Amino acid sequence: MLDKITDRKKEEIASLIVPETHLIEGTKRSLAESLRASSYPLGLIAEVKKASPSKGVILEDFHPTAIAEEYEKLQVSGISVLTDRDFFQGAPEYLTSIRRSVKTPILRKDFIIDPVQVLEADRIGADAILLIAAILDPEQLKELYLQAEELGMEALVEVHSEEELEQVLRVLTPGLIGVNNRDLRTFETDLTISKRLAPMMPESSLFVSESGVHTKADADYLKNHGARGLLIGEGFMKSSDRRQFLESLFGDES
């Protein structure tokens, strides 16, 4: 599936038309600073996601901007917006619309493999981008990371194994490192992946655990093993009461 997604991205890039100017003017917001300043026991990145290859359509009645506005009222640290059309039913337009409505830092979540996508992320209003080590060689990743920095954006560098993290750390020390507990090749989820990689994290990097967080026990487990932030998509998307879901993650701590 991962190869299929990246092949489709290459086709998209060949015909991608990037806006000539910023669609939204304004200063970029720091996702890292917002995560560190969280009023919750852990920083929270809440995701705006209609569908996924593993789950199909997660939310039929999908209103991305309204969802993001609800997240902002919940005082999350960041909002992750899926912009991939073919596999996640997202769109770059969703991100721009959300940026016009909220002040919370926005992470563009997509399969970024080319500098033109980084430029597009900047132009459509992203504050940060996701860079996935599984689909980039280390030098590519470094190039895209530095490009994002030059444009005033941050990059959340996502890894899934010790090998991927080691390869990343040979070329740079990211300010934000995400450990995806979901294997993008099999879509199986295992929180112990975050536990295994935690000891390898540089002190200067903020460690975000991604995927598979549904309960207070999950959040406690990840916090106790060094995570300083969580990225949660499906849990929020499937919940009929997102405030209650968030409060259930932290109990009396929230």
Query: Does 181 participate in catalysis according to the annotation?
Result: no
Output the six-digit token pair for 228: 């300083």
Contact 206, 34 (CB under 8 A): no
Residue 126 confidence (pLDDT): 98
pLDDT at 119 (0 to 100): 97
Tell me: the pLDDT tens digits for 36-80?
999 999 999 999 999 998 889 999 999 999 999 999 999 999 999
Catalytic residue among 120, 158, 164, 234: 158
60 catalytic per annotation = no
Active site residue 210: yes
Is residue 224 annotated as a catalytic residue, yes or no? no
Q: Point out the catalytic residue in the list 9, 34, 47, 52.
A: 47
| The pLDDT of residue 252 | 63
Active site residue 180: yes
Look up tokens 């005033």; give the residue.
152
pTM of the predicted protein model:
0.95
Catalytic residue among 34, 180, 194, 205: 180
- What are the residue ranges spanned by the domains of the chain? 2-13+34-253
Q: What is the DSSP string of 95-157?
A: HHHHHHH--S-EEEES---SHHHHHHHHHHT-SEEEEEGGGS-HHHHHHHHHHHHHTT-EEEE
Which of 9, 49, 50, 195 does the annotation list as catalytic? Answer: 49
* pLDDT interval class at 91 (50, 70, 90): very high
The fold for domain 2-13+34-253 equals TIM Barrel (3.20.20)
What does the pLDDT look like over 99-146, one tens digit per residue? 999 999 999 999 999 999 999 999 999 999 999 999 999 999 999 999
Task: Name the catalytic one among 80, 181, 205, 211.
Answer: 211
Cα separation of 216 and 223, whole Å?
10
